[in-house]
Amino acid sequence: MQGGNNLDPWYHHYADRAAGLKASEVRALFAVASRPEVVSLAGGMPYVAALPQDRVIDAMDRVMRHKGATALQYGSGQGVPLLREQILDVMALEGIKANADDVVVTTGSQHALELVSKLFLNPGDVVISEGPSYVTAMVIFKSYQAEVDHVPMDENGLIPAALIEHIAALKASGRTIKFLYTIPSFHNPAGVTLSWERRLEILEICRSNNILVLEDNPYGLLYFDKPAPDAIRSLERDGVVYLGTFSKTLAPGFRVGWALAPHAIREKLVLANEAAVLSPSSFTQMVISEYLSTADWKGQINTFRGVYHERKNAMLSALDEYLPDLGWTNPAGGFYVWVTLPEQLDSKAMLPRAVKELVAYTPGTAFYADGDGRQSMRLAFCYPTPENIRVGIRRLATVIRGELDLLETFAGTGALGAAPDRPGTNYQRYAGPPANIS
């Protein structure tokens, strides 16, 4: 084969856009971390065991008995009409008023991200996003040969002044900004939430710069004590494409998400959806629709909140006990805690050692398009039990202590410097491994 290499004879045949498709750290980790003896704080898998299986079986049974022929058939490229109406009720919980005609059902919100990117991104375009940001969104942006420009966050989410600066710098250098990709509530991976005041400010900044907002909100309903501020889409209809999903509030195996878009964009999204999949699965849409009509879905979301709240508390109290000198965010909902390590440590380099100690996490570098994030890691508390979370953090503390010992030995100084202040964490000065690590 001409132009190939030893590993892949088609190497030189791929389109340029395929160069952006590289296995992420998260993906590689799933294989290792799925071994039962490893406590995985890496993946963001919802705890679907908390879902009443009987309710789902009932819904499937009724769909097949009463509407089987429709459920097994191709459907509309925009999605099942009744489900689109019900999605309006879900979004109303976060202040969104909309028309079912502007909802497009997709194969998970991941596919909505893909479709929006396909519609908007040319090679060389810029997507502005929080830094850090959702890893698999960045994989998509890169696969369309766009560049991701990260704007920093603090404990109240994206920093408006920094956004203004970044937009000005990008414009000054002649770059084309296509949209702001943001996860305002219970951010993946940072765990922080954009305050209401900042939602107003950021929307205004985007409006005045003619920048579309792509609001990705998989976790908004999974709050612990009080609801997140209303969605950005509740404030603005024309400048926002909003993405939602049933993956976290119900189950990801259905692969049902949606986009709510301004009318003209919605038309193009339907065409792109048809071109990609003809129609999203009629069967899973109808099962979800049946479930929403007959089960106590709001009560179910409440149950999930309780489960995740307990696990978040378990994680933070274990961090307090075993790694009190590190910095971390305190999420008010969602699945993730963002941890800042001592300056000397590199979360990516430390990972093999952690897996050897039977604990897995996601290195911060996975969440930056530019290789930043070595001093950070994402810990997910959604899947392991509170007991296992404790075990995992204890093992992590052993790993961190070991790394610091090693560094001290080789540096020969014994002195540990302070890490720089990092936005989005409660970073404190790292004064050496605490006595209570066991």
Ligand X SMILES: Cc1ncc(COP(=O)(O)O)c(C=O)c1O
List residues near ligand X by CB under 6 A: 44, 108-110, 134, 183, 188, 216, 218, 245, 247, 252, 257
Residues contacting residue 255 through CB under 8 Å, at least 6 positions apart: 107, 108, 247, 280, 281, 284
* Closest distance of CB 110 from ligand X, Å: 3
> Least Å distance between CB 63 and ligand X?
21
- Residue 360: both structure tokens together: 């897995």
Closer of 188 and 282 to ligand X (Cβ) = 188
* Shortest spacing between CB 113 and ligand X, in angstroms: 6
Nearer to ligand X, 231 or 399 (CB): 231
- Provide the 3-class DSSP secondary structure of residue 152: strand
Closer of 138 and 177 to ligand X (Cβ): 138
Q: For residue 40, which phi and psi values (nearest 5 degrees)? A: -95, 115
Backbone conformation region of residue 174, classed left if phi is above 0, alpha if psi is from -120 to 50, else beta: left
Task: Report the length, in residues, of the chain.
Answer: 438
Q: Which of 285, 272, 252, 234 is nearest to 87 (CA)?
A: 285
Nearest-approach distance from CB 383 to ligand X, in angstroms: 12
What are the angstrom distances between the C-alpha of 113 and each of 23, 217, 426?
Answer: 18, 12, 31
Q: Smallest gap, in angstroms, from Cβ of residue 132 to ligand X?
A: 11
CB of 35 to ligand X, least distance (A): 22
Q: Shortest Cβ contact with ligand X: which residue?
A: 108
Q: Rank residues 139 and 159 by Cβ distance to ligand X and give the closer one.
A: 139
> Cβ of residue 137: shortest distance to ligand X, in angstroms?
6
Distances (CA, A) of 255 to 131, 176, 434: 27, 32, 44
**Contact at 8 Å (CB) between 123 and 144?**
yes
Exposed/middle/buried for 123, CB within 10 Å: 0-12, 13-18, 19+?
Answer: exposed
CB of 3 to ligand X, least distance (A): 35
Tokens representing 116 are 């929006």
Q: Closer CB to ligand X, residue 259 or residue 355? A: 259
Nearest residue (CB) to ligand X, 46 versus 433: 46
Distance CA 148, CA 244 (A): 22
Which of residues 79 and 257 has its CB atom nearest to ligand X in the complex?
257
Cα–Cα distance, 386 to 383 (Å, whole number): 9
Distances (CA, A) of 147 to 121, 127, 165: 10, 6, 17
- Least gap, CB of 245 to ligand X (angstroms): 3
CB closer to ligand X out of 75 and 252 = 252
Q: In what side-by-side order are the strands of the sheet with 126-131?
A: 103-106, 257-260, 240-245, 212-216, 177-182, 126-131, 147-154, 157-158
Between 107 and 398, name the residue whose CB sits nearer to ligand X: 107
